[in-house]
Amino acid sequence: MTTGYKTLTPNQIGTLLHALSTRQITWTAARVWCACVEMQAIREAAGRVRRQRRDKRPLQPEYRREELVEMTGLNRRMVARGLSQLEPVDLVHFRSEAIHLLEAPMLEAAETIQELSGGRSPRRPIPVPRAVLRFLARQPTAALGRVMLGYVVRGLTIDRQGGAIRSAGTVKASWLSGTLGLSQRAVRYAQSRLKQLGWICPDRGSKQWKLNRTGAWFSIRLDWVPTVAPLRVETGTPAAPPREDRKTPTEIEDQKLGVLERKGREPSLRNIQPSDLHDRGRLRVLFRRAVQRGWVRSCESDALNFLAAAVRARSTPSRDPVRVFVALVRERRWNHITQAQEDQARRALRQPSNRPPSAVHAIGDVLKTLLPAHLRGQSARPQPVAHRPGPRPAANSDA
């Protein structure tokens, strides 16, 4: 570990997560707590260096709120508000001469601490890298920070003999969701983001029975140092989540679109073909008929879910993507759509028309034409129809 570590216990982390789940504190206060832990680790490291140099001069450490402001990126008012939330629950007591962290667990957090301990002692030391503490102190996304703390408890440990640090473990997304009080979609999005940042290594060799029983294996990089925290996801098409979109086609040829458009038969909800999910004209008719039948509403949220369901159906490993698409739309099973697929659908809705044509972009153009103008963020003036060229009508002389 190149940046050193600060030992915490499941009692401390479990109490923090319980206070977040019960909304006794906000994530801003949790960021201030991580900054306080890092400030204490800095003073402890300085004391060890002084002892190694045999410097016996008395030195009283000083803690200032300006350091919290610099470490978290928050203003003084938000830092003061975070400290005012942490002190009533005894998570931290900030004074200019010392910082006192919670040692005894809260009685209300006993269930969360027991889940985090996993049968081990709730007082066992967890070596939290200081780079992780600094990253959490500046992390604005609460779900990502809470999932990161869950991985820290599950994966990091110190051997009793030798003091070696182990950074591997196994975890299920359902366990993280139930213990941390998050939705499974938020957990999976955070997992994908942490793999994208290179903090945890993805599991590529486990069988499906192993994933169902105990979850995927993971390994935390102890030499990980974030350059900029956090980076936003790029506007391009992201990598598919693990075991979701292995062979997802992202583009189709223009010749195929032309052949499909020349077919005279109109699509029907009773007989949807797999090619209908790739054709803009046929998908437009399907969406209108779904609105008329009452499957979806003519609003922005249902349009986004309709597009995400099409992306989900096209990327599913099932042999019948049409059945998957109909089940998602008709029964409104939006919870089966992953965060990555929803983001892909949202980018398709915002995709400019001058981009190269693709199947996802074609679906996005369809939905943008079906939505009202005030929901699309455009003017109420109707857009010209590009696929029906013709002579402009002559002006009326009586007008």
pLDDT per residue as tens digits for the range 135-184? 999 999 999 999 999 999 998 999 888 888 888 888 998 999 988 888 98
Q: How confident is the model over 104-114, as a mean pLDDT?
A: 86
Q: Residue 382: enclosing H or E segment and its boundaries? A: none
Selected residue with higher pLDDT from 97 and 1:
97
Residues 38 and 84 in one domain: yes
Does any domain span residue 233? no
Residues 17 and 96 in one domain: yes
Supply the range of the domain harboring residue 69: 5-220
Does any domain span residue 314? yes
Distance between CA 273 and CA 270 in Å, rounded? Answer: 10
Residue pair 177/229 in contact by the 8 Å Cβ criterion: no
Does any domain span residue 228? no
Residues 312 and 176 in one domain: no
Residues 342 and 291 in one domain: yes
Q: Which of 29-43, 176-190, 324-338 has the lowest mean pLDDT?
A: 324-338
Q: How confident is the model over 87-116, as a mean pLDDT?
A: 87
Please state, for a pLDDT cut of 90, what percent of the chain lies above it.
26
Annotate 88-103 with b (16+ C-beta within 10 A) or e (fewer).
ebebbebeeeebebbe
pLDDT for position 78: 94
Residues 259 and 216 in one domain: no
Q: How confident is the model over 13-37, as a mean pLDDT?
A: 93
**Closest C-alpha among 225, 166, 237, 155 to residue 191:** 155
Above 50 in pLDDT, residue 359? no
pLDDT for position 208: 84
**Closest C-alpha among 75, 74, 99 to residue 6:** 99
Q: Is the pTM of this model over 0.75?
A: no
Residues 172 and 77 in one domain: yes
Selected residue with higher pLDDT from 106 and 76:
76
pLDDT for position 381: 46
According to DSSP, residue 268 is labeled B
Please state, for a pLDDT cut of 70, what percent of the chain lies above it.
75
3-state secondary structure of 101: strand
**Strands 5-8 and 99-101, how do they pair?**
unpaired
Q: Tokens standing for 39?
A: 């400030």
**Closest C-alpha among 203, 86, 219 to residue 151:** 219
Q: Tokens standing for 87?
A: 């002190």
Q: Which of 18-22, 27-31, 205-209, 382-386 has the lowest mean pLDDT?
A: 382-386
3-state secondary structure of 8: strand
Does any domain span residue 231? no
Q: How confident is the model over 195-215, as a mean pLDDT?
A: 84
Does any domain span residue 238? no
Residues 137 and 191 in one domain: yes
Q: How confident is the model over 295-299, as a mean pLDDT?
A: 81
Does any domain span residue 357? yes
Distance between CA 156 and CA 221 in Å, rounded? Answer: 10
Residues 282 and 142 in one domain: no
Residues 187 and 267 in one domain: no
pLDDT per residue as tens digits for the range 138-147? 999 999 999 9
How deeply is 171 buried, as exposed, middle or buried, from its count of CB atoms within 10 A (0-12, 13-18, 19+)?
A: buried
Distance between CA 83 and CA 300 in Å, rounded? Answer: 40
pLDDT per residue as tens digits for the range 267-283? 888 788 887 777 666 76
Which pLDDT band, with edges at 50, 70 and 90, does 266 fall under? Answer: confident
Above 90 in pLDDT, residue 133? yes
Does any domain span residue 200? yes
Selected residue with higher pLDDT from 145 and 321:
145
Residue pair 109/118 in contact by the 8 Å Cβ criterion: no
Which pLDDT band, with edges at 50, 70 and 90, does 77 fall under? Answer: very high
**Closest C-alpha among 202, 193, 183 to residue 135:** 193
What value does the mean pLDDT of the chain take? 78
Residues 324 and 276 in one domain: yes
**Closest C-alpha among 344, 368, 285 to residue 276:** 285
Above 80 in pLDDT, residue 247? no
pLDDT for position 209: 82
The dihedral formed by the CA atoms of 225, 230, 236 and 241, expressed in degrees to the nearest 10: 70
Which pLDDT band, with edges at 50, 70 and 90, does 39 fall under? Answer: very high
Does any domain span residue 164? yes
pLDDT for position 239: 46
Which pLDDT band, with edges at 50, 70 and 90, does 307 fall under? Answer: confident
Other Cβ atoms within 10 Å of 55 Cβ, number: 10
> What would the DSSP string read from start to end of 277-336?
GG-HHHHHHHHHHHHHHTSS-SSHHHHHHHHHHHHHHHH--SS-HHHHHHHHHHTT-GGG
Which pLDDT band, with edges at 50, 70 and 90, does 194 fall under? Answer: very high
Q: Tokens standing for 274?
A: 């797999």
Structural domain tally of the chain?
A: 2
Residues 211 and 260 in one domain: no
The dihedral formed by the CA atoms of 327, 328, 332 and 334, expressed in degrees to the nearest 10: 150
Q: Tokens standing for 14?
A: 């479990």
Which pLDDT band, with edges at 50, 70 and 90, does 366 fall under? Answer: low
Residues 68 and 141 in one domain: yes
